[in-house]
Structure 1
Amino acid sequence: MTKLKMLATTAALMLAGTTSAFATECIAPANAGGGWDFTCRQVGKLLYDLKLVDAPVQVTNMAGAGGGLAYAHVVADMNTDPDVIVAASSATTTRLAQKAFGDATADQVRWVGAIGADPGVIVVAKDSPFQNLGDMVAAIKADPGSVAFAGGSAAGGFDHMKPLQVMKSAGFTEITKVKYIGVDGGADAITQTIGGHTQAMTGDMSEIVGFIKSGDVRVLAVLTEARVPGFEDIPTAREQGFDVVAVNWRGLYVPKGISDDQFNAWATKLQAVADSAEWKETMAANGLAPFTKVGADFQGWVDGVIAETETLSREIGVIQ
């Protein structure tokens, strides 16, 4: 049995015996509170509020294998279901590029679109000795094992790459010595850091907004070209001397076996959400930057991103 089939079987057993009164299901491939969960709940709410679907959208959290469990379940058991959508992001395509889902490939689903970019962040607890990104970089250069990062992606995934890119920008070449702990979603990652189990969190802005407002964390840097509207007090990595830009797009994929008409219908609905005033308010409140690609345009873009990610992953030694 292949790894993909094993994951699909596990997912099917998790859901066995459940029934749904909802017309549309959005699968978030991580625990509640993270970025994928945010995508499902916010997009799902607006699909219903804007009358793009006839009933409230059911959100199903299916954590496991860094998104691989949900991917396998959709490929194996929901291939022709026109009423299921799945939250995806840069982490999803990164894992596919790196064969983290076993024998799964990106062409086993259809990529509907992305409607926002979540800025990457490097975060520490409020009582951390690191006051800025330079402090952290200096500590890692002095003792690479002294700083452990928690992130919502598996080792070698998109969250893992962010601090590695920062260290490469700082001229540090022993990036395999940087410690990283992958957990199931950004909420778990920030909890690890606030609890003192790791010295830093690498993730996305939407995953930490609540913790910023509560004062539990200090954001050392946002990995965007310019400061994020609404969070102007957070400096970019660039302005601190580290030329790194890393944003995590937020979007959806659907089963490959649905018809072109059904695929195009989802693309149209997602575009309507992206164009709505409500979504623009949601982006502003959660630190998302505009980033809209839907339908065939997005499908082609994803193919290119996966090819580029595979090349980068080989350069940093994540894959052979």
Structure 2
Amino acid sequence: MTTAQLLAKPFDRAGGIWELPDVSGCAPAEWLKFLQNYQQALQQVSRLHRNVLLVVVEDSFGLTQLPRRNQPQLAFHRYQQQLTQLDMLLFLSRVAPKADSAIERELYIHTVAALFPADAECALALLQEMPLTPEQITEFLEARQRERSWCSTTELPATNSDDAWSRGVDCYVDSRPIRHICAPAVASLAACVRQAQWLAQVRVLLPWIEQQRWQLLHNTELRHYLRTQLQETPYEKKFGEEPNMRVVKVSDPDRLEPAQMLYVLQRRHRPREGATTYLKSTKLHRKLETLLECRNEISHLSPLSENQIVSLLTVGE
């Protein structure tokens, strides 16, 4: 079995990606011969299960050692690729520029991956413009529509057809076909951007909020105070309605959500009429309220605004 045949052989029923980090030492004639052998070996593999060759090229390698697009000996073909969200995220993480913070960088990467789960060309172009506002991202998508002549009156091929794969209208993600976000049949671009932002915040911010809640419990005197209060009067979580309501008493601070933590603190600090509580003026109270507000916003299918994200990130400072 030749090297080309070995690389073309699928790992399992799903395709894979072979990364070639350096081909600068390979003569053009040998490189072209290998590509020809690899292309022939791929003909024996179903399009769904084919492996993708990823060639990493840096300026220091010297592009003169690689075949160019205008060389007639090298033919470029589009084919149905089976990708996953993780594949795209790994790719975007490697090429994304630095942002003001790691969280903002991850949010942008997840947003781009949600918009283009299999279109690496569009994803890379959007990353190079990082960071963009939702309005600017929408303008970017509209420009891509015009470039591909995908206007509202354009007749596109049927879903999951060979023509749809070859024209880039459809792609395969997580073993299911999806239509390109810039296709006219897709919902409004502004709504798609908002949905992508929300998905990114669910994947990035919700775990981060939970991490901050945990750190507040273990890095301050809050944990000891809450434990003392819960031992005296446990917090009651109620499930269902009468007459089948179930009540669970909580005495462990780790099981309290931000809203429940605030409730336990405030029931001990009920202000007299005309007075304010010490709790209201503390930085801890503001952090808990911020975590609660942002978590509720995301949980109700509403992405956070830029100002809300900035406010949320100050909790970790």
TM over 0.5: no
User: Between Structure 1 and Structure 2, which shows a larger proportion of strand residues?
Assistant: 1
TM-score (normalised: structure 2): 0.24
User: Between Structure 1 and Structure 2, which shows a larger proportion of helix residues?
Assistant: 2
TM-score (normalised: structure 1): 0.24
Higher Rg: 2
